[in-house]
């Protein structure tokens, strides 16, 4: 069996699941046999969320979650990167323990819904990956803990891709902390490396866009002044590729999404700017037909964020809040994957630290993002008795 690639020129091996017993040797060899230094039995006291981690420690943490919470965590291998690394998604699922009747049964549609979360497509946005891992932990922790989301596993199955850009992420640790794109070889005639993954999705790819027009390419939030159209220069930070889904990581995720049932929500975690954004990115003139529901859910979510730690987020369309850009993942997930509640979330801060957010902020960012997720799920299900968060 071969899953047909979204990029019709390429075929990839089938996606398959692996349990905790199988994955140890496949991800990082003997590394997983080593004793870990963090206790993850509780969300509140683990030291893991006190620091950023290189890729092998992220994979170690994911494996530890599977061992600590058996029967809930599975791993999906979803393809290879340009440099040959394996891409992993965490599947968090359990049989519902609810005996749903009446209004609650109707509200939940009985069938569990799917919720997808992606970490940093842009390699330098470390807080996005750290937050995706915090959310995975919060979905497994004891429901009595503050900011735990595990009660929602009765209503949702979660699919979390903490590191959508493994090659780029490793490069930010070993070479250039502010590297943005993936690390694929563009072609023998090109001297530059990488594609902007978040301009390579196959909806309105390379449509009319505005590129930021300031020279300092390290400050995405400040890049709001329009420049020329889509940049065809492979050396550009915002290079969208020769064709949609050219980035193998984008193609792998798109293929994976096609296999997932009953998807209701998608969150693309990013940094920075403190913004919760709905589609569209490719146009500031078009409004999603579901914008009223999307914005109402977003308004409740940013209120939940503020209640957690006082952090203020703004809401609006991606185009209005950031800049016009085609080939965006949120536009694709809404229009092509049919996910109604598709959002981009630019996490803390608003520019003081930017992409170099101090590690001591990882936990509060994770906590307020858990509050946001809790609010969105409550809105989607319309269930009044939502799991409480402190």
Q: For 133-146, write each residue's pLDDT tens digit.
A: 999 999 999 999 99
Predicted confidence at residue 256, as pLDDT, reads 99
Q: Which domain holds residue 109?
A: 3-172+245-381
Is residue 94 over pLDDT 50? yes
Question: What percentage of the chain's residues is helix, strand, coil (to nearest 5)?
Answer: 35, 15, 50
Written as six digits, the tokens of 64 are 């530890």
Kindly report the average pLDDT of the chain as a whole number: 85
What is the per-residue pLDDT across 270-302, written as a single tens digit (0 to 9) for each?
999 999 999 999 999 999 999 999 999 999 999
Which of 209, 55, 76 is CA-nearest to residue 123?
55
What's the pTM?
A: 0.85
Q: Is residue 283 part of a domain?
A: yes
Is residue 325 over pLDDT 60? yes
What is the per-residue pLDDT across 48-85, written as a single tens digit (0 to 9) for each?
999 999 999 999 999 999 999 999 999 999 999 999 99
Predicted confidence at residue 167, as pLDDT, reads 99
Peptide bond into 150 cis (omega under 30): no
State the average pLDDT over residues 102-129: 82
Is residue 227 over pLDDT 50? no
Written as six digits, the tokens of 192 are 């530059």
Domain count, the chain: 1
Cβ proximity of 165 and 82 under 8 Å: no
Predicted confidence at residue 233, as pLDDT, reads 87
Degrees, nearest 5: CA angle 74-361-196? 65
Confidence of residue 201 (pLDDT cuts 50, 70, 90): very high
For residues 3 and 99, which has the higher predicted lDDT (pLDDT)?
99
Q: Is residue 191 part of a domain?
A: no
Q: Is residue 340 part of a domain?
A: yes
Q: Is residue 356 part of a domain?
A: yes
Of all residues in the chain, the percent with pLDDT exceeding 70 is 79
Q: Is residue 213 part of a domain?
A: no
| CATH number of the structural domain spanning residue 330 | 3.40.630.10
Question: Could you give the 3-state DSSP secondary structure of residue 347?
Answer: strand
Q: Is residue 342 part of a domain?
A: yes
Of all residues in the chain, the percent with pLDDT exceeding 90 is 72
Is residue 23 over pLDDT 70? no
Q: Is residue 50 part of a domain?
A: yes
What is the per-residue pLDDT across 344-376, written as a single tens digit (0 to 9) for each?
999 999 999 999 999 999 999 999 999 999 999
Confidence of residue 191 (pLDDT cuts 50, 70, 90): confident
Q: Is residue 257 part of a domain?
A: yes
Predicted confidence at residue 294, as pLDDT, reads 98
């Amino acid at each position: 069996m071969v899953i047909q690639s979204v990029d019709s020129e390429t075929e990839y091996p089938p996606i398959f699941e692996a349990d905790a017993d199988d994955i140890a040797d496949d991800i990082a060899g003997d590394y997983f046999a080593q004793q870990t230094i963090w206790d993850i039995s509780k969300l509140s006291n683990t030291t893991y969320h006190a620091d950023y981690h290189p890729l092998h420690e992220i994979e170690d943490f994911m494996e530890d979650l599977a061992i600590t919470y058996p029967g809930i965590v599975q791993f999906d291998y979803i393809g290879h990167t340009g440099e040959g690394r394996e891409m992993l998604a965490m599947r968090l699922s359990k049989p519902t323990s609810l005996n749903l009747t009446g209004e609650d049964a109707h509200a939940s549609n009985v069938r569990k819904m799917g919720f997808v979360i992606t970490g940093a497509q842009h390699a330098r946005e470390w807080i996005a990956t750290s937050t995706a891992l915090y959310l995975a932990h919060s979905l497994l922790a004891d429901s009595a803990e503050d900011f735990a989301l595990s009660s929602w596993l009765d209503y949702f199955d979660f699919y979390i891709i903490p590191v959508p850009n493994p090659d780029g992420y490793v490069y930010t640790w070993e070479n250039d902390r502010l590297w943005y794109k993936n690390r694929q070889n563009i072609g023998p005639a090109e001297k530059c490396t990488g594609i902007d993954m978040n301009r390579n999705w196959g909806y309105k790819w390379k449509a009319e866009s505005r590129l930021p027009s300031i020279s300092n390419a390290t400050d995405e939030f400040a890049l709001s002044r329009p420049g020329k159209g889509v940049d065809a220069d492979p050396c550009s930070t915002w290079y969208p590729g020769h064709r949609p889904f050219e980035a193998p990581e984008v193609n792998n995720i798109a293929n994976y999404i096609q296999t997932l049932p009953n998807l209701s929500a998608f969150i693309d975690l990013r940094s920075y700017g403190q913004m919760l954004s709905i589609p569209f990115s490719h146009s500031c003139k078009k409004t999603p037909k579901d914008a009223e529901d999307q914005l109402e859910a977003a308004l409740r979510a940013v209120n939940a964020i503020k209640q957690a730690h006082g952090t203020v987020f703004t809401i609006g369309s991606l185009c209005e809040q950031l800049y016009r850009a085609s080939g965006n993942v949120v536009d694709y997930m809404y229009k092509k994957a049919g996910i109604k509640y598709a959002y981009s979330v630019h996490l803390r801060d608003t520019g003081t630290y930017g992409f170099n957010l101090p590690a001591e902020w990882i936990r509060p960012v994770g906590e307020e993002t858990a509050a946001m997720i809790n609010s969105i799920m409550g809105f989607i299900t319309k269930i009044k008795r939502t799991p409480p968060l402190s």
